[in-house]
Structures are given as C-alpha cells and as structure tokens.
C-alpha cells in the first residue's frame, strides 16, 4: 500500500495518467473540451499547493484554460513522481474518453516508420556479427588441427616457468627461423675435447629434471662462438708455458641459471684526503661551526653582550653577528657560530634566558660588510 495521501480531482487524475503515453497537444485538446476553465484553474491551484510551490505559481489573465493546462503539465514533468500526491477521480463519468479524434495519426505513422528502420538496422548488424563469429570459429578450429598434427615443440628450448609449454608450434618455428647467425656459428664451432667426452649419466633428462635445471642446461650449452675462439687462441699461446695450478672459480649462476651482472662503480678522479700529522701553531685545522639563530632579545642588546654571555656560560669566545630584519621590530636577532662538536649545549633550554627564541640558522646572510660584527675570534 502506498503511503501517499489520496486527493480527489478528476482533472489531475486524468493528466497524470495520460502524460506517460500522450503528447502535450492531445492532452490540452481533450481537457479543454471536457472541463471548464474554473475546474482547470482549481486543479492547478490544488497541485501547486500540494507540492508547496504556491508562491511560484504563474497567474494567467488571458486564455487561462490552455495556459493553466500547460503549467500543470510542465510542473508534473519537472517534479519527481515520488513527490507527487495520488490524485484520484471521485466521479468516473468526468474522466474524458480518448478517441481517434484526439490522436495524431501522422505522428503515429512517423513513429512506426522509425521503428521499422531501426529494426532493419539491428537485423543487418546481427547478420554481420554472426558472419564474423563463424569466421573466427573456423580459424580457431584450423589452428587446433594444425597444433594437433604438428605435435608439441622441442621441450629443451621451452621456458616452462613462464608458461611457454602452452604456446603453439607456429611460434617456435618462427623463433627458430629468426635465430641470430651467432648461434649458428656457435653450433658449427668445434667443441673442446673435455666437452665432447661426456657420459650419458651426466646429461639430465628432460622428463625428470625440473624446469629451472633444464633452462640452466640450455643456457650453458648456447654460448657465443666468439668466446670459444678466444679460449682456443689462449690455449695455443699458453701450451709451451708452465701454468700454475688452476683454482676452481666460484659458480656465480643462481638457481635459475642466470649470472648476476653488477655495474662497476667508478672511482672519482680526485678524492679528498686528510692529513695525519700533529697540528702546530703555524698550521692547524679550522674548527667546524654551526650557525645558530638567537632572537627576541631586548632592543638595547649588543653583540658584545651576547659574546660575554656565551663566554660566561661556556668559557668560549664565539663569533656573533647581528641580523637586520626587513620589518620594523622591537627586538634584536643575532647569529651565533657555535662549534659543531658541542652544538648540543647551545640547543638546551637551560642555556638561554626565558623568552629568548633560538634554533639552527636557516638561509643565507645577505650582506656581511654592512653588519656590526665582532672581530675575528678563535674558538678555544
């Protein structure tokens, strides 16, 4: 059961029922011949009042019947159907019948013609799609027959870890035909004597070996011919010379048969080096310093007073520079150069008086020649 309130009004009940399948011109024509202008205006007032839009209702002075019907239809079209109350007819004989006199036959014929054209278009597209599907099915069947007749690919050249065992025989044939000439040279090159004499037990079987070992065996046998020719030349040159006992090289291949290649790090051409001699009075290293920002000091504070305060706390005479602010302030700010090795002492809250702001200095000092600074003092 619907929870909407039921309101008895024949005009609104007919319009809401007919608005879904009739055009606006036909509805206006039927209502104009079946209802009076007072009934239409009353229905319009009731609709706007039930929807809470009484203030937005337009007033019609001339031709109020047709304009009011158009206002009702436009309001129903732009309003959510769930927000419209249920209008019912109390007197059923007041509902006008819909006859062929109120139907636009030309429009119906036009709609029927458009529907026929759309239906023919859909049929032609379905026929084309069916032909394409049949062609694809034939190609798939042909590929299956070719694979079943040709058999499976050579398992020694298949990387089973990547799912290549499921590939078609056509892809393997194309891969073998497009192999590099270096691989052909490597196959035609003479093998060393040690490699020629091999027992059958040492060869791993394809059926029993794992995919990783099979791939490692293939990778080991397919080496470039250039490397083998270089080894042969080296053996000829070193036959007459006594060679030291060979040390077995460490196997750098991982479990998958790959050799990890690392890029060699280039050493810088110029490296900084540090001296190790004891410092003297004539030559001694500079003490690294860290710049500290000290602010919110009284406007009468001078550089000498800051230097004296730091000396009374640490027995060190540090270099202090005054910072000029871009804005007018009632306090002064300074930059203190503290030794980096003991900078933690200056970053403690107990070191500075209450109300003084301090931190590590950020940024640059724009102009040091125009600033009041202390003489160059050494850090002891």
Same-domain check for residues 125 and 97:
no
Instruction: Collapse the DSSP code of 338 into the 3-class scheme (helix H, G, I; strand E, B; otherwise coil) and give the result.
Output: strand
pLDDT band, very low/low/confident/very high, at 192 (cuts 50, 70, 90): very low
Same-domain check for residues 67 and 136:
no
Close Cβ partners of 54 (under 8 Å, ≥ 6 residues apart): 45, 48
Per-residue pLDDT tens over the stretch 71-127: 888 888 888 888 888 888 888 888 887 776 666 778 778 889 999 999 999 999 999
Per-residue confidence (pLDDT) for residue 68, from 0 to 100: 85
Same-domain check for residues 45 and 120:
no
Q: Assess if residue 43 is contained within a domain.
A: yes
Close Cβ partners of 362 (under 8 Å, ≥ 6 residues apart): 293
| Nearest C-alpha neighbor of 34 from the set 91, 110, 81 | 91
Per-residue confidence (pLDDT) for residue 312, from 0 to 100: 93
Which residue range is the domain that position 339 belongs to? 289-360
Per-residue confidence (pLDDT) for residue 152, from 0 to 100: 54
Count of structural domains within the chain: 3
Torsion region of 350: left, alpha or beta (phi above 0 gives left; psi -120 to 50 gives alpha):
alpha
Same-domain check for residues 123 and 53:
no
Same-domain check for residues 70 and 89:
yes
21 vs 25: CA distance, rounded Å: 12
The answer to which of 6-10, 66-70, 210-214 has the lowest mean pLDDT is: 210-214
179 vs 38: CA distance, rounded Å: 94
Same-domain check for residues 99 and 115:
no
CATH of the domain at 296: 3.30.70
Per-residue pLDDT tens over the stretch 32-62: 888 888 888 888 888 888 888 888 888 777 6
Same-domain check for residues 73 and 122:
no
267-274 average pLDDT score: 83
Strand partners, 335: 293, 321
**Burial degree of 291 (CB within 10 A; 0-12, 13-18, 19+):** middle
Same-domain check for residues 10 and 97:
yes
């Amino acid at each position: 059961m619907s929870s909407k309130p039921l309101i008895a009004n024949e005009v609104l009940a007919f319009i809401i029922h007919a608005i879904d399948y009739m055009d606006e011109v036909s509805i206006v024509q039927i209502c104009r011949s079946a209802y009076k202008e007072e009934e239409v205006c009353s229905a319009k007032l009731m609709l706007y009042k039930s929807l809470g839009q009484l203030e937005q209702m337009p007033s019609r002075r001339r031709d109020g019947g047709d304009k009011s019907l158009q206002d009702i239809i436009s309001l129903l079209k732009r309003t959510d159907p769930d927000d419209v109350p249920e209008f019912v007819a109390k007197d059923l004989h007041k509902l006008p019948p819909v006859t062929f006199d109120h139907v636009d036959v030309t429009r119906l014929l036009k709609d029927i013609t458009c529907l026929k054209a759309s239906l023919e278009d859909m049929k032609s597209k379905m026929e084309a799609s069916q032909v394409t599907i049949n062609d694809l099915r034939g190609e798939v069947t042909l590929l299956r027959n070719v694979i079943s007749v040709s058999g499976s690919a050579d398992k020694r050249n298949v990387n089973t870890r990547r799912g290549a065992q499921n590939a078609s025989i056509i892809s393997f044939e194309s891969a073998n035909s497009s192999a590099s000439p270096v691989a052909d040279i490597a196959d035609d090159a003479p093998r060393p004597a040690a490699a020629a004499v091999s027992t059958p037990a040492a060869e791993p079987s394809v059926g029993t070996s794992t995919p990783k070992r099979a791939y490692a065996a293939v990778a080991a046998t397919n080496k470039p011919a250039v490397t083998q020719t270089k080894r042969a030349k080296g053996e000829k040159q070193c036959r007459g010379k006594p060679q030291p006992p060979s040390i077995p090289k460490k196997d750098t291949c991982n479990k998958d048969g790959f050799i990890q290649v690392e890029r060699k790090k280039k050493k810088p051409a110029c490296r900084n080096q540090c001296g190790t001699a004891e410092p003297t009075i004539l030559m001694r290293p500079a003490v690294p310093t860290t710049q500290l920002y000290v602010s919110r000091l009284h406007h009468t504070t001078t550089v000498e007073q800051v230097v004296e305060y730091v000396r009374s706390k640490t027995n060190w005479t540090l270099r202090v520079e005054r910072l000029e602010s871009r804005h007018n302030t009632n306090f002064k700010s300074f930059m203190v150069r503290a030794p980096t090795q003991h900078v933690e002492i200056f970053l403690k809250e107990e070191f500075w008086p209450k109300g003084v702001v301090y931190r590590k200095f950020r940024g640059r000092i724009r102009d040091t020649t125009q600033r009041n600074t202390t003489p160059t003092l050494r850090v002891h």
